[in-house]
Each structure stands twice: as C-alpha cells, then as structure tokens.
Amino acid sequence: MRDAYHEELQALNDQLVEMTRLVGSAINRATTALLDADLTLAESVIVADDAVDALRDDLDRRAMDLLARQQPVASDLRVIVTTLKMSADLERMGDLARHVARAARRRFPDPAVPAPLRATVVEMGQVAELLVAKAGAVIASHDVEEALQVERDDDEMDRLHRELFASLLDVTSPYSIEAAIDVTLVSRYYERFADHAVAVARRVVFLVTGQQPQDVAEHV
C-alpha cells in the first residue's frame, strides 16, 4: 500500500502530465492560429497560458511544502527537485506557444507565414506536439528507454529549422524583411519548445536513475 507521502509525489507527477497536456493543446492551437491567421484562436491561446502558469505555481508550492514537511533524502529528494525543474521547462513551453500565437496576432489579418513556407511550419507544429506528448508519456511511465528516444526525435525539429532558413534565403523566391523576421522568430520558438521537451525527457532519466542521460545511454 502506498503511504500518504508517495501519494503526494504521485500527485505532483500527475500535475506535470497535466501541464504537458495543456502545453500540447496550446502549441497545436497556436500553430493553427498562425497558419489560418485566426485572431480569436490566437487570443484564446494567449489567455489560456495563465492556466499553465497557475498550475506551475501550485505545483512548486506543493513541492516546496513536501520538501519542508518530509525532509526527503536520496532518490525522493532527487524526484522533488527534478520535478521543480520540469515544471519550469513546461511553463516555458507554454510561454513559447503564447509567443507563436502573438506572432499570429501581430500580423492579423495577414498571415505571418508566407504560403511557400507553410508546409514546413505545419511539420514543426506536428513535431512540437509529438515531442510534448512523448515527454508527457515518459513523465507518466518513467520509462528510461522511451525518454532517451525523445532526444533523437528532436533532430527532426533541428532539420526543419534549418530547412526554413534555407527556404528564406532561396533567391528564386524573394521574401519581405517582415516575413523573414516573423519566420525567424517563430522558427526559433518551435525549436526552443522542442529543446524544453527534450530537457523534460532527460530529466526523467535523471529522476529515475540518478545519472545523466549520456551516462545511461552507453549502457542501454
């Protein structure tokens, strides 16, 4: 039977998973708002980020409270401190989804992404969503092998990021400076979103094993 303390730890973990769900929904809707120049949707993403921040604040308060009351050592201490770091990553991913939505709002009613670049941005949105879904799955499962896999998926985001820059620089299809600024920033937001999803997965490896992913990966 689980004791009250471990139930509280489990509740923190559930809250992290809930954050991945909110943030996954945010990046999905932000991508749609960006590509469809949908102002209402963009504003709903911007407003909804407050819920992610509130969840992070609540989670951090509960984690601090657990630290103070239970005085954990060894692996339990590692779990709580790592949870605080994961909540910071997820909160930041919420900010980045909001930044994408703001880029859509800034250019409304024009689309911020020129038509020839849309397909790459669609893919970036899909990879971002996949990465946060996988991060959520590994938080729930504590599966180390699955966590190590997330890093490899991030290579796809880096490839798309480079592809977008190459397209912008393609002299046969000249873009405006405004489009270049917008696309550069948006691409950077997706790339950072993916980096944080990878960071979350890496933290699960540390949380479970007490070792850094590179040291674990050698033995898997």
37 or 84: whose CB is closer to its own copies? 84
84 or 217: whose CB is closer to its own copies? 84
Given CA atoms 149, 151, 154, 159 in this order, what sign does their dihedral have?
negative
Question: What are the backbone dihedrals phi and psi of residue 3, each rounded to the nearest 5 degrees, phi first?
Answer: -85, 170
41 or 80: whose CB is closer to its own copies? 80
Give the rounded distance of the alpha carbon of 3 from its chain centre.
32
37 or 88: whose CB is closer to its own copies? 88
Q: Which residues bind its own copies (CB under 8 A)?
A: 64, 67-68, 71, 73-74, 77-78, 81, 84-85, 88, 165, 168-169, 174-175, 177-178, 180-181, 184-185, 188
The answer to whether 55 and 35 have CB atoms below 8 angstroms apart is no
Question: What are the backbone dihedrals phi and psi of residue 201, each rounded to the nearest 5 degrees, phi first?
Answer: -60, -40
User: Nearest distance from residue 54's CB to its own copies, in Å?
Assistant: 13
User: Nearest distance from residue 186's CB to its own copies, in Å?
Assistant: 11
Q: How far is CA 169 from CA 25, 46, 114, 164, 175, in A?
A: 32, 31, 13, 9, 8
User: Nearest distance from residue 168's CB to its own copies, in Å?
Assistant: 6
142 or 188: whose CB is closer to its own copies? 188
User: Nearest distance from residue 28's CB to its own copies, in Å?
Assistant: 24
Q: Two tokens at 205?
A: 């490896």
User: Nearest distance from residue 77's CB to its own copies, in Å?
Assistant: 6
Q: Two tokens at 126?
A: 């899909």
The answer to whether 28 and 125 have CB atoms below 8 angstroms apart is yes
